[in-house]
Amino acid sequence: MAMASFSNISSTHLFSHHHQTQTNFYTHSSLQTFTITTHHGIFTFFSSKLNHYSPPTHLLRSPVSATFSSGNSGGFSGNGGGGGGEGGGGEEEERDRNWEEAMVAMAEARRSLESFPADLAVAVKAGRVPGSIVRRFFELEESVVFRWLLKFGGFKERLLADDLFLSKLVMECVVVIFTKAAAEFKRRKENFTKEMDFVVANVVTGIVTGFVLVWVPAPTVSLKPPLAVSAGLIAKFFYGCPENAFQVALAGTSYTLLQRIGAIVRNGAKLFVVGTGASLVGISITNALINAQKAINKALSVENLPVISTSVAYGIYMVVVSNLRYQVLAGIIEQRILEPLLRRNKLILTAAYFTVRTANTYWGSLLWVDFARWVGVQKIKS
């Protein structure tokens, strides 16, 4: 059972959490307060602008009683009715708990919901965001860089899910240059110099796709706005899919096996488009360099790279090989294994991320050379 009460009292920000305990507050000037009482305890949050928002609707459904009081020391009170019946099950209880935890975090930080970005505020009110995410938001805001990035959709969802996301992004883009070059040398050996055009194309393409391969499958906190009523079945299905097929679902959120498979399909489609486009850019740059060399050295006989076939092949490679590889890396190896083991020491955790991502990028570079040769878009030069 939950009780939501609103009153005007005076005090600084206060908070109480008692199990089966009644708490009284004494005041001397006007301040808004919001209290939720559930079987988990009593949660009170104070804000000068709290009247701008209300508790999530699932907290005001049956069995619930709501009490409103007005005035300084007196006033009136009344009980709002609720119907009968039980709640909506385990997921609804988790959302109730998320709301309570969020209230606790806001009270501790002396923050109100109006200071949140609009999409995050809606998610908090709906009970889709646990207290740990709210606290992470406050921690990220302490950094000038993160505070700026939190203003952008995409970055916000990923940083709230993983505060080391930016480190991974930078790490991948830097590492890909060295690992790509090393992998190219290992596979091409004595042909490395002869096939330098292939090497340059692969490294340039790798930098672009490295960014995307961190971005697309990164676990996120879902802050998506509701779908339009007129949305089709396919749009509705993919709306409910996670960004990473293997990511840990937050309390109050769950994914079916079909939705997790849908994440692989949707991300694969994105990576095909990005991979093909990035390869088009990389190969075009390489061909421009080759043509520039030919203009200077008339005796140079180097063929231009096939643009369309190589780009399509790279897009297919991204779907078949990179897609699942990076989803497993982000959702299983990092989020489910490394983070629980090393979360107490961010330095060691970052080093572990660097190690596995370097190994993964190097391995992926080797696989692409083999794949490109296998499909015939980069044949061995004699």
Sequential DSSP letters for 135-193: HHHHHHHTSHHHHHHTTSTTHHHHHHH-TTHHHHHHHHHHHHHHHHHHHHHHHHGGGTT
Distance CA 364, CA 379 (A): 19
Evaluate whether residue 103 is within a structural domain. no
| Phi (first) and psi of residue 41, to 5 degrees | 145, -170
pLDDT reading at 180 higher than 80: yes
14 within some domain: no
In a domain, 350, yes or no: yes
Pairing state between β 64-68 and 2-9? parallel
Stronger pLDDT, 47 or 9, i.e. the higher one: 47
In a domain, 314, yes or no: yes
**Of the candidates 182, 190, 221, 171, the residue with the CA atom closest to the CA atom of residue 365:** 182
Is 94 within the bounds of a domain? no
| Residue 272: inside a domain | yes
Kindly state whether residue 63 falls inside one of the protein's structural domains: no
Residues 244, 3: Cα–Cα separation, whole Å = 37
Q: Does 255 reside within a domain?
A: yes
Find out whether 348 and 339 touch, Cβ atoms under 8 Å: no
Structural domain of 357: 227-381
Residues 181, 179: Cα–Cα separation, whole Å: 5
- What rounded mean pLDDT belongs to the chain? 78
Residue 1 pLDDT exceeds 60: no
Q: How many domains does the chain have?
A: 1
pLDDT tens digits, residue range 137-147? 999 999 999 99
Q: What is the pTM of this model?
A: 0.70
pLDDT digits (tens, 9 = 90+) for 329-360: 999 999 999 999 998 999 999 999 999 999 99
| Listed range (7-11, 106-110, 183-187) with the worst mean pLDDT | 7-11
What is the C-alpha end-to-end distance of the chain, expressed in Å? 78
